[in-house]
């Protein structure tokens, strides 16, 4: 089954038709068309466990009339269905409460040009070839470490999607993007105790993926490294967050400065604009137009042009993360974040992970987190964790069944260092992070 997608112009025609119908009915409207297709293959014990084709499409219409908002969706792009969807959105709007802040984004912020960000790289891999890659990944994991007892799954995924957006102010734009991945989950055993390890690679372009065997070997190595894990005694120690988890910490910062949490007064960083939230050696900037970036986008979910901007400049919060509605609620200017952030990049001080561990000398290196004990109102942070105990800057033994706790405001303010080992498999690019102290609850 070859990778095929409806043409951009066809998607735009559907979106424009819905916008035209709404305009003729006297409504303002925002219209999104999304379509995509893909292939997923999973193998286990040398056999194919899953083989799935994905194909989806949807039309979402949101209308505004006198401050009242209504939304409706359909997967049928026939003109009669488009008309019915717009009518349904209008009926819903009639029963909604008026909100003076509801409406389309101001036309001055709409994207005038739609840059090509090199996001569309179809991977025409056939099922047989995808199965072969998954089997190669699984075999590498099994043979890399003798204590790997099984591979829960080795998987290959490819996906190609199209997003089109139009509104009754005359905006219309579309872009395609691909996302491909390889992943492996291994299980190891020693002295009756078992551990699970996972690794993956993801990219817009298949040629940028790590080799299947490398993914399998890494999953196996991470699994075996966790065998023999112990608990720790309760105390306060320095902590290094592995880069994968450090992106999550930055994600909590983003959530705390995002519009909905700000206007609901549900953030420990409300009214923090222009104040210091991180040490002065940390800058976080946004680069939405990075070629092939996993967080790249030419415009946001409201058609607003995306642009480079500073979120944090030398430790000082330089801006919030706002869509059009949140900006109106707060009396501020929208920032192009309907749908989230786009390639946040956290600065570093040139030290890799080994250097951070040496600087820490003694403490906890966190590689896995569990649960979601984060209170954005107070900043209180408490998560189940596992990782490795560090002595003299080197790993001594794996650690499990502990809880780490602190307060995000203090964690951010007292941060010691950010590493140059950037995690680039998402919308936030960040290296490992060293914190001076957290409470570790164990025995």
**CA angle centred on 218, ends 214 and 222, rounded to 5°:** 175
CA distance 267 to 272: 10
* Interhelix angle 127-144/212-225, nearest 10 degrees: 30
195-253: pLDDT as tens digits: 999 999 999 999 999 999 999 999 999 999 999 999 999 999 999 999 999 999 999 99
Q: What is the pLDDT of residues 66-86, one digit of tens each?
A: 999 999 999 999 999 999 999
Question: Above 70 in pLDDT, residue 272?
Answer: yes
pLDDT higher than 60, residue 3: no
Across the range 349-362, mean pLDDT stands at 96
Q: In the predicted model, is pLDDT for residue 2 greater than 70?
A: no
pLDDT at 47 exceeding the cut of 80: yes
1 has pLDDT over 70: no
- Please list, in sequence order, all residues whose beta carbon lies within 8 angstroms of the beta carbon of residue 259, skipping any fewer than 6 positions away: 320, 321, 322, 323, 325, 326, 327, 329, 330, 337
Q: List every span in the chain annotated with CATH 3.30.2290.10.
A: 8-225
Q: Which CATH number fits domain 8-225: 3.30.2290.10, 3.40.50.1980, 3.20.20.70, 3.40.50.2000?
A: 3.30.2290.10
Q: Which residues face 43 on adjacent strands?
A: 48, 154
Neighbours of 97 (CB within 10 A): 8
Confidence of residue 443 (pLDDT cuts 50, 70, 90): confident
Give 113's pLDDT tier (boundaries 50, 70, 90).
Answer: very high
Alpha-carbon span 30 to 43, nearest angstrom: 42
Average pLDDT, the chain: 96
Q: What is the H or E stretch that residue 382 is in?
A: strand 380-391
SS (H, E, C) 36-96: EEEEEEEEECCEEEEEEEEEEEEEEEEEEECCEEEEEEECCCCHHHHHHHHHHHHHHHHCC
């Amino acid at each position: 089954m070859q990778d095929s997608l409806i043409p951009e112009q066809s998607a735009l025609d559907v979106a424009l038709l819905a916008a035209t119908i709404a305009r003729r009915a006297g409504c303002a409207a925002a219209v999104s068309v999304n379509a995509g297709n893909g292939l997923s293959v999973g193998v286990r014990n040398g056999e194919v466990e899953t083989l799935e084709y994905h194909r989806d499409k949807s039309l979402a219409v949101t209308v505004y009339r006198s401050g009242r908002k209504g939304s409706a969706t359909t997967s049928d792009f026939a003109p009669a269905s488009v008309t019915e969807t717009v009518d349904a959105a209008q009926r819903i709007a009639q029963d909604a409460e008026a909100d003076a802040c509801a409406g389309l984004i101001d036309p001055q912020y709409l994207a005038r040009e739609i840059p090509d960000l090199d996001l569309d790289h179809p991977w025409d891999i056939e099922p047989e070839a995808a199965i072969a890659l998954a089997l190669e990944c699984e075999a590498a994991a099994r043979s890399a470490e003798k204590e790997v007892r099984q591979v829960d799954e080795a998987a290959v995924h490819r996906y190609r999607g199209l997003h089109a957006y139009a509104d009754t102010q005359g905006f219309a734009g579309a872009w395609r993007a691909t996302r491909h991945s390889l992943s492996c989950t291994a299980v190891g055993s020693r002295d009756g105790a078992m551990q699970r390890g996972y690794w993956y690679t993801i990219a817009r372009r298949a040629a940028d993926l790590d080799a299947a065997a490398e993914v399998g070997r890494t999953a196996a190595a991470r699994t075996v490294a966790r065998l023999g894990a112990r608990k720790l005694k309760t105390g306060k120690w320095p902590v290094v967050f592995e880069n994968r988890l450090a992106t999550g910490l930055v994600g909590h910062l983003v959530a705390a400065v995002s519009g909905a949490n700000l206007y609901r007064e549900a953030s420990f960083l409300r009214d923090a604009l222009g104040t210091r939230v991180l040490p002065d050696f940390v800058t976080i900037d946004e680069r939405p137009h990075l070629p092939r970036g996993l967080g790249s986008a030419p415009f946001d979910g409201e058609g607003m042009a995306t642009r480079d901007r500073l979120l944090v400049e030398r430790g000082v919060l330089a801006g919030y993360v706002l869509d059009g509605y949140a900006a109106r609620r707060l009396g501020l200017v929208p920032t192009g974040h309907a749908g989230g952030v786009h390639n946040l990049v956290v600065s570093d001080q040139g030290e890799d992970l080994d250097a951070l561990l040496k600087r820490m000398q003694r403490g906890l290196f966190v590689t896995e987190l569990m649960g979601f004990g984060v209170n954005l109102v107070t900043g209180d942070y408490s998560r189940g964790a596992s990782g490795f105990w560090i002595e003299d800057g080197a790993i001594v033994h794996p650690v499990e069944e502990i809880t780490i706790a602190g307060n995000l405001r203090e964690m951010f303010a007292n941060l010691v260092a950010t590493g140059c080992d950037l995690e680039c498999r998402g919308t936030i690019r960040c290296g490992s992070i060293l914190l001076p102290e957290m409470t570790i609850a164990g025995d």
